[in-house]
A and B are shown apart, each in its own frame.
Chain A
Amino acid sequence: MSITATKMLARDWRGGELGVLLLALILAVGVVSGISAFATRLQSALVQESHRFLAADLVARSSRSMPQVWLEEADQRVIDRATTLTFPSMVFAGDEGMQLVSVKAVSDAYPLRGALTFSEQPFGVVLPATQGPAPGEVWLESRLFPLLDVSIGDEVSVGDASFKVTAAARTEPDQAASFYGYGPRLLMHYDDIPSTGVVQPGSRVEYRQLFAAQPETIADYKEWLESRLEDGQRLLDVSDGQPGIGSALKRAERFLLLAGSLGVVLAGVAIALAARRFSERHHDYVAIMKSLGATSGKVNRLYGTSLVLLGCAATVVGCFLGWSIQAAFFTVFGDQLPVQPGPAGIRPYAIGAATSLTCLLCFAWPPLRRLGQASPLRVLRRDTPAENRRTLGDYALGLAAVTLLMWGYSQDWQLTLAILAGLAITVALGLILALTLLRGGRLVGMRAGSIWRLALAGLQRRGTSNAMQVVIFAMAIMLLLVLVLVRTSLIDEWQTQLPEGTPNHFMLNIGPEDVQPVDQMLRKQSINSEALYPMIRGRIMAVNGIELPQTEDRTEDRRQRESNFTWSDTLPDGNKLYAGQWWEPNTEASLVSLEREFAERMGFDVGDQLSFVIGSQTLEATVSSLRELDWQTMRPNFFYVFPPRLLAPYPATFMTSFFLPSGDKAFLNEFVRSFPTVTVIEMDVVVEQIRTIVDQVSSAIELVLAIILATGSLVLVAGIQASVDARMHESAILRALGARRGLLLGGLFIEFAALGLFAGLLATVAAESSVYVFQEWVMDMRYSPTPSVWPLGIGLGMLLIAGLGVFNCRKVVSSPPVALLREL
């Protein structure tokens, strides 16, 4: 029977030699695969969310119905399909009720993605619908009920046909993002269109053919369709969905990538430390084996195979851990997600396995490989030098592995370089500072009391290895602080973006004569509203005397197009001046301020002369400034802002937004009755949805943070363990010579606390620098220093390292010195 790697592993496991190494490997695989699976599923939820906003996976849009051959091809490919037709029309009720509405006719299968909702009474409880109105029935938007003076069960007519009102239409998944210019919604069945007789050739209508199937099927079909598109036909896919929650999820994803990358680095360091200690403790083992006849090749084969076996075991357990982490999250929070996240697939686990392999090969194998060169003479002379010196090659290999893993994981050079830069600063500063401070300690130590002298002498005696330890501790603490800081500012920013009381309703088309009464009614109800913004519909025609293209192709950014104008003497709330100057109050100059991204898309800049048409009149204005604003604040936002005096001659309506608690929805009935011409848009469902998702993603981030903290602690434990033997040996001798328990523990506490102090200090400096780089360059967030992190970093460093250090060395006072000396 020969000695096998399995046997050796089993013996090492029993002897407690493998614990930290195996744990570090499992955590590396677990963190990487877990976060990766989590991000993949989150990404799939995001895509589904986008599909939900399209009500399908792919949409074909045209002013004519789609060619029959498209539909036959879709059926042949087993693709689900539905049709919608949208057009403006008058609706009549009784003798006097009539109103311009936006009619949407939908087929049975609508919607293919997302949910249609209705209520049994106007502004009543929102319920999900399995399909739209049945033939012969219509659903009306809540505010149409008072406008037409109808109730559920009454009849209304559209064109030549009459319909029974059976429900209030509440939300559609593909409600257009822009709600300006639309009348209230009337939802009917697609098959009823012919009977109304309102759709004639040349009518202003929009057909949408909706398709849904497996992603590959849709991709193939899309390719097939693209070559057959004619003028006026356009395909819409995920990129046109633009969900409002997109940016929150995108940032969360980047945070998760950051966390995962840091997790990989931390686990890599832990693996390297654990492997080094493992190899150090195995030098005598190998010396004995070699004295008994084991060759270098045999030793290498044994340890190599052991490592592979260890890697396999850690990969399996780590992947299971990763799977559990993401499954736990989706089990707890999945029900609250508006969509069901798809499967993560095999890729996250393959990444986990690759991480395990790379870590083993680059971090664990170099110290173990040198075990084969251990001298058998150590069995006679313990002082024979062990072959454990690291070479430059080892460090280069480690650095290459860290870079490769981070890049492979995040696929983001900026992020990888930001972290590497932070680590490089820590290492360089760390070595200089630690060596200087530790050398300084010697002078102080000679004048201090007994415990201090012991501790400081220890610090100085192990100067080089202590400096390395400080750097390792500082790296771990820095990475943890970076994560805590980014997480805090991310969550803070989300919360400030949508604080309690965020406006969740918009009011449009408020006539000048209604401004005051509307304001009074809101005040009477104690409803806080944003300022009332005037709104004038106009059209951009030319820039610097050159006409813009006339096209209705919405994919073309630079074209003549209609927009809403407003006026203001001051920079609107939540806007930030990006370029140019804001005008003086009461100016009579012909100026206009543009939203930055819109201006970029149109190719406009400060100083350009723009020509507009409002009604039948022309208007010229010079671009005086560009503004930046956040479209997700639920405030009225505008592309164009003019000085008040310039727009005064034109007829305007007003708009505002306000917060209405869900319990006060009945107020809307009363309001719409009092102001029938005012359009109220309910955004409460969307705001609530965004807030729910932000809460869920925040919880996910907390969970990931906890896992990374565990990995960081493992690095600290591995780092401390690396030096425990030498310290224990010295302490055991001191104890044998009669040193008190208090002296030894006190000395160790001070020694470790001093290492923690240096490490904490370094980590805090490096973390602040890294967070600055990361937030400004990678996350597109504003950086502000966090004073609270200084006491946290330094205090945490001291307490954690002192506590862990003393805990790991506790045996020195609890076991007889002779037993310790024999063991070490």
Chain B
Amino acid sequence: MIKVEHLQKRVSMPESELEILKGITLEIKSGESVAIIGASGSGKSTLLGLLAGLDEASDGRVVIGDTDLSALDEDARALFRAKHVGFVFQSFQLLPALTALENVMLPLELQSQANAEDLAQRFLERVGLKSRVSHYPRQLSGGEQQRVAIARAFAADPSILFADEPTGNLDTATGAHIIDLLFELNREEGTTLVLVTHDQTLADRCQRRFVLDAGALV
């Protein structure tokens, strides 16, 4: 379970302080799929960053399971992410110098998993990229790159998957395929899915939706 209490994020500007998130409180149950929607600049990605432990809140706390992320330093949060969190990003975030297989192996290698290569192979097969394992990101289409990113996210067996505009860089048809794949794997693996999107159709496929407007839930 993810529990968010009075979460605030402020950044200092040259002349004033900008409040990006204004005391967010919410709960997400294990295995649930939720969408965070809102206009550009409403604070969706900032909230995602805080939920995933990529950033530190100015105030309030994020508790995942028994772990209070707000009480951890960056290294402890990194270890937590390695164990429990998977990501899918709008810009894929694949490492250009690594092949599709090596990109999927990366989180497994960071956890020193013995069968990293086998696992990565299996997940690439599951996303339909068996024949593209040795291709570099630049040799893959946008949809294929996002499928590699999905394989990477699920290969590490996370309990929560955070997806930041996963179809933002893809055309409608490819986007639809990617979403099908994401939900299918999510269901099979029993993962909690937290998704940030502009796309109402995509949001509608989630069990619950949180709407952000100017840093506050509406």
Contacts and interface: CB of A to CB of B under 8 A. Distances in A.
Range for the number of chain B residues in contact with chain A? 35 or more
A12 B110 contact: no
B45 A376 contact: no
Interface residues of A, number: 31
Given A1-B113, A295-B75, A295-B78, A380 B164 contact: yes
B147 to A, nearest CB: 17
Nearest to A14: B97
A660 to B, nearest CB: 70
Interface string A154-188: 00000000000000000000000000000000000
B102 interface: yes
Contacts of B138: 819, 823
A247 to B, nearest CB: 55
A interface SS class: helix
A63 interface: no
Contacts of B80: 293
A298 B55 CA distance: 19
Task: Please list the 4 inter-chain residue pairs (A to B) with the smallest Cβ-Cβ separation, ordered nearest first.
Answer: A293-B82, A15-B97, A3-B109, A2-B112
A376 B50 CA distance: 11
A289 B89 CA distance: 14
Interface string A254-298: 000000000000000000000000000000110011111111111
B55 A291 contact: no
Contact of A11 (B102, B108, B117, B152): B102
A3 B110 contact: yes
A683 to B, nearest CB: 66
B77 to A, nearest CB: 8
B216 interface: no
Given A3-B110, A377-B55, A823-B138, A294 B78 contact: yes
A15 B96 contact: yes
A823 B95 CA distance: 11
Contacts of B112: 1-2
A379 B89 contact: yes
Contacts, number: 98
11 contacts: A1-B108, A16-B97, A17-B97, A293-B81, A293-B83, A293-B110, A294-B110, A296-B75, A376-B81, A381-B49, A823-B96
Given A1-B109, A377-B55, A379-B54, A292 B97 contact: no
B75 A297 contact: yes
Contacts of A819: 138
A234 B134 CA distance: 79
Interface in A564-597: none
Contacts of A15: 96-98
A50 to B, nearest CB: 56
Contacts of B114: 1
Interface string A10-22: 0110111100000
Interface in A339-388: 375-377, 379-381
Contact of A1 (B54, B117, B152): B117
A7 B98 CA distance: 11
A1 B111 CA distance: 8
B48 interface: yes
A292 B96 contact: no
B96 A380 contact: no
Contacts of B75: 295-297
Nearest to A13: B97
Contacts of A285: 95, 97
Nearest to B89: A379
B54 A380 contact: yes
Given A377-B49, A379-B87, A380-B54, A290 B96 contact: no
A291 B87 contact: yes
Contacts of B98: 11, 15
B48 A380 contact: yes
A380 B109 contact: no
B206 interface: no
A616 to B, nearest CB: 94
User: A7, A284, A295, A297: which has the most chain B beta carbons within 10 Å?
Assistant: A295
A289 B87 CA distance: 11
Interface in B119-152: 138, 152
A381 B45 contact: yes
Contact of B78 (A7, A293, A379): A293
A400 B186 CA distance: 56
B38 to A, nearest CB: 15
